[in-house]
Amino acid sequence: MATPRVAILRAPGTNCDEDTAYAFRRVGATTTKFHINALRANPERCREFQILVVPGGFSYGDDVAAGKILATQMQQFLGDALREFRDQEKLILGICNGFQVLLKAGLIVPADEEGPMATLTHNTTGRYEDRWVHLRVTPGNCPFLTGLDRLEVPVAHGEGNFICRKEWILKGLAQSGQAVLRYCSPAGGPASYPQNPNGSQDDIAGVCDATGRVLGLMPHPERHILPTQNPNWTRTGLKPEGDGLALFRNAVHFFQ
């Protein structure tokens, strides 16, 4: 398939849909933005696409909890369609609020009989964090991250603190290769605040499902597509492209 088709899911409060569409268009994909109500009315539209993205923002104002209302809608009305989508070896991406949605919808770490195994909750600082961070990448079998080892991208969130219900769950995610993105120091070592901006356990910034084809991450790769988007470019030199573009290119190349 020469030109993968990307569906970008919108809801009231979503505000990064156009940034995400722009990133995919720059690497050769075609994009269509869907309001959640349109996809609810016709879930079979998912079959027309190869990549589904839940972008960042504040879906439904995060009034119940970050991403929770949209996650519940996806569980109740799109659950079968999304599982079929994933099982056909297509790709699903959630960025920031989209990560919160995918995680709370059970598409990354499914719940067990005791309830959710992991969640994203309030930053330990108790405030919204908006800053640039360094990420250490361990791609495993995640197509979005093939060939990557480091990224510098921004974060902007109030509820990005990744927490597992039990220690064994956290260890299991690491051992299975699902903890694919971690905050790190500029030199690549362990992170402390503000390098880890939210207090996430094990410095986790992004997690994929067991197949590797469903990825959620709190940082915003779509906000570092152009090299001039990095505020340090005049001091560090102008790169050919922003760090985040490789993630989108990898997704497109997966189908080429």
- Global confidence as pTM: 0.97
- Rounded Cα gap, residues 113 and 89, in angstroms: 27
Token duo for residue 226:
């152009």
pLDDT value at residue 136 = 98
pLDDT value at residue 117 = 97
- Rounded Cα gap, residues 217 and 97, in angstroms: 9
- Rounded Cα gap, residues 168 and 13, in angstroms: 35
The catalytic position among 134, 142, 157, 220 is 220
Split into its structural domains, the chain has a count of: 1
**Cβ atoms of 231 and 9 closer than 8 Å:** no
CATH number, domain of 161, equals 3.40.50.880
Whole-number Cα distances in Å, 168 to 69, 143, 171, 200: 28, 26, 5, 16
Local structure of 223: helix, strand or coil: helix
Q: Is 152 a catalytic residue?
A: no
Cα Rg of the chain, angstroms = 17
Assign residue 245 a region (left: φ > 0; alpha: ψ between -120 and 50; beta: otherwise).
alpha
Closest Cα to residue 156, out of 32, 56, 31, 10? 56
Ordered strands of the 204-208 beta sheet:
30-35, 5-10, 51-54, 91-95, 214-217, 204-208, 181-184, 129-137, 150-157
Token duo for residue 100:
């919160």
The catalytic position among 46, 96, 164, 208 is 96
- Rounded Cα gap, residues 239 and 232, in angstroms: 11
**Structural domain boundaries enclosing 122:** 5-253
Q: Which residues of the chain have pLDDT under 50?
A: none
Average pLDDT along the chain: 96
Q: Is 129 a catalytic residue?
A: no
Q: Which residue matches tokens 């908006």? A: 130
Q: Is 220 a catalytic residue?
A: yes
The catalytic position among 134, 142, 222, 224 is 222
pLDDT value at residue 119 = 97
pLDDT value at residue 2 = 73
- Rounded Cα gap, residues 222 and 243, in angstroms: 9
